[in-house]
Chains A and B, each alone.
Chain A
Amino acid sequence: MKRIFTILFVLFIANLYCQNVSFEATGPGAVSLNDRFYLKYTINANGNNFIAPNLSDFNILSGPNQSQSQSYSYINGKSTRSITITLTYILAPKELGKFVIEPAKININGKTYKSNTITIEVVKGNTKTTSNNSGSYNNQSNQNNNSSSGTVSKDKIYVSIIPNKRTLYKGEQLTATVKIFTKYDIAGFEDVKFPSWNGFFTQEIPTSDQVSLKRENVNGQIYYTAVLQKMILQPQKTGTITIEPAKFDIIILKQGQRKQRRSIFDDFFNSGYQKYRVSVKSRPVKINVKALPNPPEGFDGAVGTFKFAASIDKTEVNVNDAISLIVKVWGNGNLKLINEPEVNLPPDFELFDDAKITDRIKNTSAGANGSRTFEYVFSPRHSGTYKIPPISFVYFDPNLKKYKTINTKEFLINVEKGSGDTSQISHIVRGTTKEDIKYLGKDIRFIKTGKIKLKDKANYLYGSNLFATVYLLSLLLFIILFIVKRKHIKDNADVRLMKNKKANKMAKKHLKNAALSLKENNKNKFYDDIAKALWGYIADKLNISGTELNKENIESTLLNHNADAELVKEFINLLDTCEFERYAPTSKEDRLNEIYKSAETLIGKFERIIKKNRS
């Protein structure tokens, strides 16, 4: 246990010292023959046993000179120590050519580290520099004016746009570099105008903000160079596209002639360098853009070398579960211009949103590199087995000069009915559709079509003459009818009364006739008159019409009038006798008188009974 702890501790300490050891060699890329230059080795740890490389190609003027810097810092209870050791040689080239300086070696904590190799190009050098300086000597007196550029040579400072291709297909990528070449020291830039890159889709490759000058050999001359802008360009049209020149106003420093200015003020204020403003302009660059050959179906402008794949997160789901389908394009080319590939989802699937696009693109000198991802989120609304057909992607490969098509595989999705919560979800879905209908109904209802029943304005039945007339007329008619009917009834009643009153008289008259017939001994007529007297009296007295006149009726009516049953019987018997004697005479004289008398008494009795009844 203890041992393990010790080992860990040692490892920790070792780690502290060993981590991030860097051993770096720096030197200029190009030097002129009569220049001297620095070769530096930088180590960030204490080391020993430094083995210098073979420097026999150069004259060692000085070195190695060691300088060391250390710093301690104590941050949040943690102390760190950093150390930088620099070994410097001052060298001078012996002859022209390209020389490789092998790595130096150093031992740090028992471990050998190697530095990088350095290539130094020795060129002929600018022996002209001095002659140039003396050549411009005549103009020195005018050079107080900073903006004057008369003495600055155009081929000592210039800007150029360097494309990596001059002929390419539409949509293919090229990188263009805006670079400055100078032999002067640059104090700063004024009025920087980069080209507008018309006709191209552009993506800038990030360069450091600080412009760092590098020595470079250009046709045997040493220039300080700096990359000012680096762009990835994709031509958007065919034909020849001219890139407009870049324009810069650069302030340069130039050593003046000290001896000319012996004045104390000049010495005081001039450090010997003078500032000049130089306007430089690049040459226009022509790019020839070729049209793409006949594009196949499904081609959407992707140019480059790509790979294409699709994946799905699950294939066994429940109804209403969310599924995400990821389609990825990666490679080198105009990734930013790639549109959403067409995905044919089954119609029962609800796509939630447009595809989510995620870019991971790095702009490098080799062009835009990286990937573009499309994520589709959708959910099935019903159970079953569904198929998502292959997704295809067509692109043009400028290296092969051919179109290429990549198809993904087909996806099968099995959708289960799911558990109880699906019903809830479908309820919610139903709810939303209901709301939709409500929303759609936000308009007034349609006009009433077809025939409209119109009426005259201000013409109402109520209160009109017709209205009043109907009431009055009907009321009047009613009253008239009522009165007429009333009178009619009254009249009817009068007739009866009269008959009633006359009944006794008539009966007496008939009886008188009967008495006459008796004297004449006309038996037939006698019975007839007696019957007439009896029938007529009863009919008039009891208001029985002729048709209703029969014995049963008479009997019931008389009984209704509270007549004595015996009396009624006697009356009926008398009527019977009369009838009988009329058609079958028995010829008994005394019976006639008897019948006459009984008729007379019966009528008298009834007269009394009915009168009594009425009062």
Chain B
Amino acid sequence: MYKKIFFILIVIASFKVSIAQDVEQYIDSAEIYYTNSNYDKAIEMYKKVLAAGKESGFLYYNLGNAYYKNNKITDAILNYERAKLFIPNNKDLLFNLDMANRNITDKIEAVPEFFIITWWKTFIGIFTSDTWAIISMASFVLLLSSVFLFFFTRTYSLKKTSFWFGIILLFLSFSSFIFSGKTKDAITKHNTAIVFEPVINVKSSPGDVGTELFVIHEGTKVTITQRSGDWIEIKLANGNKGWVKSDLVEII
């Protein structure tokens, strides 16, 4: 009985190891294909990695590059935007995304963002969701320790130190908890999308009867604000809103 269980465990473990090795191989060979300008193959390899249930900001970035080189700008933008969720502050990524966006039809003047919000976003983007979560957990444990110290120490200076330390840790734990949640939400909520149809008429209401408000083109990034059946309400960077069919866009 025990032998059997042990055997099964070994099989599972080796299977997991083999998956990890395969994935690494895909990435290595994709890199070689890309360097040799065989972008079709590189795309195929990166897609295999994604199919294996793995993801990463740089994986999406590389895939986006391969698409760009293959002159599939819309796919490139989609993958760059996906990568941006993971590595929002990466200079190379922002440069390439900008390059790709120069090729699309719509030139939408984004509503200028308040500088504090930009700082805020940059700050949140320093760490990934998991890193923020670890920071939150670690500072929570330290917070409890300092509370403990505060209550049971008899030395006055230690008591004072632990008090202030505890307040800082409380703040850190709380904020990193929120950051972790925010960054995770940005990735998992899927509330932005890229237009994949050459031309879309945006309507004032869900359904074909709605008045046509404006036209957007392939490669434009939109924010999804509401859903209603097959239809989604989208918001452009300049604040315009309207309804489109959800299968005309690809969610990031």
Contacts and interface: CB of A to CB of B under 8 A. Distances in A.
Contacts of A452: 27, 56, 58-59, 62
Interface of B: 23-24, 27, 31, 34, 49-50, 53-56, 58-59, 61-62, 65-66, 68-69, 92, 95-96, 99-100, 129-130, 132-134, 137, 140-141, 144, 147-148, 151-152, 177, 180-181, 184, 188
A478 B59 CA distance: 41
Given A456-B55, A462-B180, 11 more contacts: A443-B99, A447-B61, A448-B58, A451-B27, A454-B54, A455-B56, A460-B130, A460-B184, A461-B129, A470-B141, A474-B144
Given A462-B129, A470-B137, A481 B148 contact: yes
Contacts of B69: 444
A447 B148 contact: no
B188 A455 contact: no
Contacts of A442: 99
Query: Which label, helix, strand, loop or mixed, suits the secondary structure of the B interface?
Result: helix
Contacts of A219: none
A485 B144 CA distance: 14
A425 B99 CA distance: 33
Interface in A446-493: 446-449, 451-458, 460-463, 467, 470-471, 474-475, 477-478, 481-482, 485, 489
Contacts of A447: 31, 34, 61-62, 65-66
Chain A at the B interface: SS class: loop
B23 A478 contact: no
A457 B190 CA distance: 14
A463 B184 contact: yes
B140 A474 contact: yes
A444 B95 contact: yes
Contact of A482 (B61, B66, B151): B151
A458 B185 CA distance: 11
A519 interface: no
22 contacts: A444-B99, A444-B100, A445-B65, A446-B65, A447-B61, A447-B62, A449-B31, A454-B54, A455-B56, A460-B184, A462-B133, A462-B177, A462-B180, A463-B181, A470-B141, A471-B137, A475-B144, A478-B147, A478-B148, A482-B148, A485-B148, A485-B152
B94 to A, nearest CB: 10
A478 B148 CA distance: 8
A455 B132 contact: no
B54 A462 contact: no
Interface string A405-443: 000000000000000000000000000000000000011
Contacts of B49: 454
B144 A448 contact: no
A442 B102 CA distance: 11
Contacts of A478: 144, 147-148
B148 A461 contact: no
Contacts of B151: 482
Contacts of A463: 181, 184
A451 B65 CA distance: 17
A460 B129 contact: yes
A453 B60 CA distance: 12
Contacts of A455: 54-56, 130
Contact of A474 (B129, B133, B141, B188): B141
Among A444, A456, A460, A463, the most chain B Cβ lie within 10 Å of the Cβ of A444
B133 A460 contact: yes
Contacts of A458: 188
Nearest to B145: A478
Nearest to A458: B188
Contacts of A444: 65, 68-69, 95-96, 99-100
Nearest to A449: B31
Contacts of A448: 58, 61-62, 92
A459 to B, nearest CB: 9
